[in-house]
Structures are given as structure tokens and as C-alpha cells.
């Protein structure tokens, strides 16, 4: 089975205008979209029901397309094709927080899109914001099968505590026994903020799924609560607020970062 569970740490660091850091344990599902039925059949606690403790619904992702009845795998391929003018025909694997007890929310989900020969074609990053529940996509072209380093101008309002005139610099390790993702917000030559995921893979079985539910009983709820708790802390630190602005288009294509652009080693 290509699908797996990942667990580890997420860390956020703010460098300006005031320092603010936090670090949380978290667990994520790495789902081969062709293996949905196999994964959901592992346990009676998994399924597509509204209040299942571990659930997956395709309409929680790319809703403009899946909401019309399009399969998620086809929606991902269409979005990547629109952006890169080529269609990845291999496995599509999604790194995400599964729906939990009726709640679905992901600040960011990552679709690893493979060619038919197994090589990585692209990563589609779907970003959501709160409380607006809007979606936006950054399409990240792949440069071989090793670590990926890309840069893209910010085009979507995520946090009211960060301005629009930023550049994202993202780094991804291969999705193997370990998985790392690093995203930094740069304003000119100054790094304002960064976020890092450091994860360890676990084989997906009935037993490991149950252990996941014990360790992360309501992961999505914890994520939402954490967002608002950290927002309150930022307000108390008098971090400036920025007005919500409409997204620029439906997606933006990243560029492969040149070697002279600083990036995190994962």
C-alpha cells in the first residue's frame, strides 16, 4: 500500500516585527487517491460518514471541481494541467489531516503528483484560510526526484498578521521514511516568518490507524483551536493587522528556485 500515516512536529517562527514561536505535535494521512476504499475499510472507525472519527471526503478538496461530481484525482490532474500544460498520469498522493468527528479543515494540503513512470511531476499545494474558508492553489513544478526548492509570490490572504507583498520559498523532501516541508515568507531580503513540518512515516494498518486515533483524537479540532489561540497571542503582542484582499486568480505557478536563493535543508 502506498498510503501511510505520518506523525511529528509542526513549528512556526515569526521574526518580525516581534518574535513569536510555537511547536505542536501532529499527525497526517498520506493517501494514495487510488487506495481510498482500502484505507477506509481498515477499521469501523474509518469511513465517509459525517461523524466518523477518521473520515475522508473528496469534496473537502478542490470544491469548485469536486462539488460538480468530478473525481478528486481528475480535479487535481486538471488543475496541474491548466498550470503546467502537462498532465501527470501516475499516482496522486495527498498529505492532509483527515476529516475528524464531522470537522474538516486544513491550513495546507499537499498533492504529490507522479508521472506514469513513478517520477515526481509536481506538487499541488491547496491553501485554506480561516474564518473565510477560501481556497487557493500553488502549483509547484518538480525538479527531478530529490529535494524540491521553489519560490512563488504570495497571491492569497491567509493570516491577517502577514502582508500580501511576500515571496514564499518552499522546500520539500521526498515522501519517504521521513518527510520534511519548509515554507518561509520573505519580504525583500528579510525573512518574516517560517513554518516547518518534520514527520516520520508509519505503515498504515488497522492497528496503526487505531493508535493514530488515540494519539491524535481530534486533530482538526486541535488545529482550529490552535490557530485562534495563536491569533490571540499575536493580538496581545500588538502585531499589526492587514486587510483581507481577494485572491489573484485561482492558482499561481511557482518557479524552481535557483541555487543562489536561500532555502532550508531538510
DSSP state of 43: -
Q: What is the pLDDT of residue 121?
A: 96
Q: What is the pLDDT of residue 266?
A: 62
Rounded CA Rg of the chain: 18
Helices (H), 156-264: 206-215, 219-236
Helix, strand or coil for residue 105?
coil
Q: In the chain, what is the straight-line distance between the N-terminal and C-terminal CA atoms, in Å?
A: 25
pLDDT in tens, the chain (266 residues): 999 999 999 999 999 999 999 999 999 999 999 999 999 999 999 999 888 999 999 999 999 999 999 999 999 999 999 999 999 999 999 999 999 998 888 999 999 999 999 999 999 999 999 878 899 999 999 988 889 999 999 999 999 899 989 999 999 999 999 999 999 999 999 999 999 999 999 999 999 999 999 999 888 888 989 998 999 999 999 999 998 888 888 899 999 986 545 555 56
Tell me which H or E stretch contains 104. Answer: none
All three cell numbers of 120: 515526481
The rounded distance, in Å, linking the Cα atoms of 110 and 112 is: 6
Q: What is the pLDDT of residue 41?
A: 96
Q: What is the pLDDT of residue 246?
A: 87
Q: What is the pLDDT of residue 130?
A: 82
Q: Name 181's Cβ contacts closer than 8 Å, sequence gap at least 6.
A: 110, 170, 171, 172, 173, 196, 197, 266
> What is the model's pTM?
0.94
Contact 207, 128 (CB under 8 A): no
Q: What is the pLDDT of residue 146?
A: 87
Amino acid at each position: 500500500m502506498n498510503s501511510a500515516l505520518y506523525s511529528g512536529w509542526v513549528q512556526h517562527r515569526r521574526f518580525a516585527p516581534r518574535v513569536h514561536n510555537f511547536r505542536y505535535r501532529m499527525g497526517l494521512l498520506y493517501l494514495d487517491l487510488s487506495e481510498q476504499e482500502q484505507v477506509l475499510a481498515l477499521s469501523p472507525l474509518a469511513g465517509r460518514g459525517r461523524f466518523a472519527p477518521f473520515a475522508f471526503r473528496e469534496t473537502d478538496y478542490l470544491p469548485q471541481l469536486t462539488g460538480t461530481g468530478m473525481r478528486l484525482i481528475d480535479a487535481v490532474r486538471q488543475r496541474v494541467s491548466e498550470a503546467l500544460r502537462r498532465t501527470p498520469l501516475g499516482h496522486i498522493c495527498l498529505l492532509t489531516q483527515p476529516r475528524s468527528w464531522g470537522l474538516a479543515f486544513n491550513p495546507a494540503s499537499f498533492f504529490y503528483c507522479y508521472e506514469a513512470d513513478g517520477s515526481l511531476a509536481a506538487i499541488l499545494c491547496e491553501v485554506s484560510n480561516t474564518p473565510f474558508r477560501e481556497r487557493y492553489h500553488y502549483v509547484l513544478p518538480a525538479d527531478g526526484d530529490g529535494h524540491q526548492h521553489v519560490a512563488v509570490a504570495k497571491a492569497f490572504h491567509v493570516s491577517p498578521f502577514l502582508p500580501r507583498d511576500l515571496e514564499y520559498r518552499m522546500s520539500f523532501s521526498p515522501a519517504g521514511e521521513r518527510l520534511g516541508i519548509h515554507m518561509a515568507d520573505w519580504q525583500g531580503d528579510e525573512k518574516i516568518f517560517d513554518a516547518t513540518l518534520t514527520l516520520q512515516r508509519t505503515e498504515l494498518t488497522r492497528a496503526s490507524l487505531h493508535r493514530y486515533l488515540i494519539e491524535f483524537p481530534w486533530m482538526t479540532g486541535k488545529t482550529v483551536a490552535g490557530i485562534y489561540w495563536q491569533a490571540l497571542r499575536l493580538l496581545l503582542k500588538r502585531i499589526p493587522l492587514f486587510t483581507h484582499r481577494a485572491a489573484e486568480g485561482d492558482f499561481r505557478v511557482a518557479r524552481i528556485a535557483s541555487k543562489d536563493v536561500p532555502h532550508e535543508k531538510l
